[in-house]
Amino acid sequence: MSAHYLARKLAQAFVTIVAILILNFLMFRMMPGSPDRVIKNPNLTPEVIAATRARWGLDKPLLPDQLIAYVKATVSGDLGYSIFYRGQPVTEVLGASIGPTILLVGLAEVLAIVGGLAIGAYAGWRRGGKTDSIGTGASLILYSMPYFVIGMPLIIVFAAGLGWFPTSGMTTPGMSDQPLLTQAWDLGSHLVLPLIAVTLGLLGGYSILMRSSIIDTRAEDYITTARAKGLKDGYVLRHHAFPNALLPMVTLIAINLGYVIAGAITAEIVFNWPGLGTLTIHALNARDYPVLQGIFLLVAVSVVIANLIADIVYGFLDPRVRT
Amino acid sequence: MTPTTAPPAAVTPARRGSRAGGRARDFAGRFLSRNDGRLGLLILVVFGLLAAFPDVFVGKLETATTATGQSLQPPGGGYLFGTDELGRDVLNMTVHGARISMTIGLMATLITVLLGAVVGIVAGYVGGKTDTVLMRISDFFLVLPTIVLAIILAPVILDIVGADAELFGIRATMIVIVVVIGLTSWATTARVIRSQVLSIKMRMFVDRARVVGSGPGRIMRRHVLPNVINLIVAQAVLTFAVAVFTETTLAFIGLGDPFAPSWGEILNSAQGAGAPGLGAWWYIAPPAICVVLVVLAFTLVGNALDDILNPRSGARR
């Protein structure tokens, strides 16, 4: 991979993150309840107002002084203070919720990638066959379902109806003094349903994309060559078609990350899973803007970094783009 | 004379008419010969009728004051789909939800496609620095997690204009949802249109128009636009699926308008009433199945149109 390719991708990611910061800053100024409003009090003398404005840096121009101050604070990890969780720094509030979301989304991504790629590859290879019609039909239906629409029937059948799994939360209260194995079992049983919901939500999209990727690959000359050499059909699929069809998937999976997190937010609400999604709802209902801004910043920057990693991985895997 | 140099203007009006008619018939034939296209169209016609005449099918939208049923009554006893926690008929709400969900979807699609088409055509045709800047901006919106941005933008805008404000008799909540979906999802359309414009720009009739002195604005309107209109239609149908999906998600999260219950809004109140844990499946299944059917139908029709109309996608799917 050339240094030029890497430098260009790094520069693009950097510019995007700066743009996200500026967007976040501008939204922050637009929204109601700015300190300026609070000090529009007829009982205050002009001197007090001026002093307060100076105290909060509001006497300086919006651009660039206030923007620079905002970027400086953000980069140093100061995202402000939560309104709902009184006075707690936003970074602490986010930190407490990020673990459960990573656990849920991370596991679901792994399961959905393995399952979706397998189904999609097989369906595309045997295009028009029985696996293709059933697999692709099911994938299209899953693809049309918001994650919470998948989650709600799961609760009705397996939690409320059959009682196999708990309906909500991540742990049973009062579990902390139990042996570690019992705690892990408890966590696992809470995890099953949300995990199935997010995995199924992801699976359909991945399978559809993989199918069209393998159909594109199937028409390539090297596949014909491999067949002409007399290689077995399954061998050609696994060793010639699959690795090449995987390439575009790297980028697509990274671009998808933003949607995955957004979808996981709705799944978390249904299962009352204590991650970023549940936090988003609490923050939304309380109009806790500092926390909402923190969530947006966190998700947006993660997506940009995921895309950067995908570009770099792609550059390693495919010599054609290393220019 | 090769087909590419044949001047389209040389075709006599009569011949052009018959050719267009033949093309339309050919297109309809190809579309209806596909199972996915037929199924999608059938679903859309059914929901289109429900959305157009909800009062004919189930009467006026029931509210908390006009509701007649018990709280969370299972299906039966005059309530085909049971009742919600306020005693409202779920069937009544679901049918009215069709109109609300699809109206929001339609408006959001119009904004998305209008923005996307203008950006795509200008970027592709003008090229150079304009193209680079516009594509950088679209990259930014492609990478940005749309729904997460919408979750932040919607309450900010609502707090500024006020949730009860009205514009042309439409409540602000609805407009905000529409605008937020439009602003955050035009980038895909812009990309697709741009790549098509890039190849159209190289064709002879564009050069010819430039030689006779047509300005860029006129060429884009009169020569480029007619050649990408097919693609715009296919994109619009696919965008409709995304818009309904996004609206459902946003309403479910609590950004919808309780006075105009879309399917996402009904699911939001079902979640709020604890319907999943209570096993009240009749409250959840109708709106949920409707969302899935409509998103699926638009995706099927959109894919079929895209296969037939988009020269790039060819026989891929």
Give the DSSP per-residue string, B60-91: SPP-TTT--S-TTPPSBTTBTT-B-TTS-BHH
A300 touches chain B (CB under 8 A): yes
Cβ–Cβ < 8 Å for A167, B277:
yes
Residue at token pair 């742990």: A171
Residues 131-170 of B with CB under 8 A from A: 136, 139-140, 142-149, 151-153, 155-156, 159-160
- % pLDDT > 90, chain A: 3
Q: Residue B208: which domain range? A: 34-52+83-312
Measured from the Cβ of residue B317, the count of other Cβ atoms closer than 10 Å reads 16
A103 vs A267: CA distance, rounded Å: 13
Residue at token pair 């693609």: B231
Domain membership of residue B21 (yes or no) is no
Cβ–Cβ < 8 Å for A144, B299:
yes
Rounded to 5 degrees, what are φ and ψ at A318?
A: -115, 105
A215 vs A204: CA distance, rounded Å: 17
A237 vs A232: CA distance, rounded Å: 9
B67 touches chain A (CB under 8 A): no
- Contact state of B156 with A145 under an 8 Å Cβ cutoff: no
A176 touches chain B (CB under 8 A): no
The pTM of the full predicted model, rounded to 2 decimals, is 0.81
A94 touches chain B (CB under 8 A): no
B279 touches chain A (CB under 8 A): yes
Nearest-Cα distance to chain A for B140, in Å, is: 6
Return the pLDDT at A26.
81
Domain membership of residue B68 (yes or no) is no
Instruction: Write out chain B residues lying below 8 Å of A284, CB-based.
Output: 151, 155, 253-255
Task: List the structure tokens of B42.
Answer: 């059938």
Return the pLDDT at B5.
40
Instruction: Write out chain B residues lying below 8 Å of A16, CB-based.
Output: 139-140, 143
A54 touches chain B (CB under 8 A): no
Nearest-Cα distance to chain A for B145, in Å, is: 4
Nearest CA in chain A to B149: A296
Return the pLDDT at B7.
42
Return the pLDDT at B13.
44
Nearest CA in chain B to A138: B296
B103 vs B109: CA distance, rounded Å: 10
Cβ–Cβ < 8 Å for A84, A283:
yes
H or E segment to which residue B263 belongs: helix B263-272
Return the CATH number at B46. 1.10.3720.10
Task: List the structure tokens of B35.
Answer: 């199972």
* Average confidence (pLDDT) over A17-42: 72
Instruction: Write out chain A residues lying below 8 Å of B151, CB-based.
Output: 262, 265, 280, 284, 292, 296
The closest alpha carbon to B297, from B39, B86, B88, B2, belongs to B39
Domain membership of residue B23 (yes or no) is no
Return the pLDDT at A33.
57
Return the pLDDT at A253.
83
CATH fold of A99-286 reads MetI-like fold (1.10.3720)
Return the pLDDT at B20.
60
DSSP calls for A57-116: TTTS-IIIIIHHHHHHHHHTT---B-TTTTT-BHHHHHHHHHHHHHHHHHHHHHHHHHHH
A212: nearest CB among B143, B288, B316: B316
Cβ–Cβ < 8 Å for B96, B65:
no
Residues comprising chain A, all counted: 323
Cβ–Cβ < 8 Å for A275, A260:
no
Domain membership of residue B16 (yes or no) is no
Return the pLDDT at B49.
87
Q: How many CB pairs under 8 A join A and B?
A: 150
- Contact state of A143 with B299 under an 8 Å Cβ cutoff: yes
Number of domains in chain B: 1
Nearest-Cα distance to chain A for B202, in Å, is: 25
A149: nearest CB among B152, B277, B292: B292
Domain membership of residue B62 (yes or no) is no
Q: Going residue by residue through chain B, which has 317 residues, state the pLDDT in tens, using 9 for 90 and above.
A: 334 444 444 444 444 445 666 777 777 788 788 888 888 888 888 888 888 887 777 777 777 677 676 766 777 777 777 777 776 777 888 888 888 888 888 999 999 999 999 999 999 888 889 998 998 888 888 877 777 777 777 777 777 776 666 666 667 777 888 888 888 788 888 988 898 888 888 888 888 888 888 888 888 888 888 888 888 888 888 888 888 888 888 888 888 777 788 888 888 888 887 777 777 788 888 888 898 999 988 888 888 888 887 766 544 43
∠ CA A245-A249-A252, nearest 5°, is 150
H or E segment to which residue B111 belongs: helix B90-126
- Contact state of B142 with A281 under an 8 Å Cβ cutoff: no
pLDDT confidence tier of residue A31, bands split at 50, 70 and 90? low
Q: For the segment A63-87, what is each residue's pLDDT rounded down to a tens digit?
A: 677 788 788 888 777 777 777 777 7
* Average confidence (pLDDT) over A239-256: 81
Residues 35-54 of B with CB under 8 A from A: none
pLDDT confidence tier of residue A39, bands split at 50, 70 and 90? low
A207 touches chain B (CB under 8 A): no
Measured from the Cβ of residue A6, the count of other Cβ atoms closer than 10 Å reads 15
Best mutation target, B151, B159, B299, B316, to test chain A (most A CBs within 10 A): B151
B148: nearest CB among A141, A153, A262: A262
At B103, the amino acid letter reads T
B147: nearest CB among A31, A262, A269: A262
- Cα–Cα distance list, B264 to A178, A181, B113, B270 (Å): 40, 40, 23, 10
- Contact state of A32 with B159 under an 8 Å Cβ cutoff: yes
A304: nearest CB among B143, B147, B295: B143
Instruction: Write out chain A residues lying below 8 Å of B278, CB-based.
Output: 160
Domain membership of residue B69 (yes or no) is no
Best mutation target, A16, A144, A305, to test chain B (most B CBs within 10 A): A144
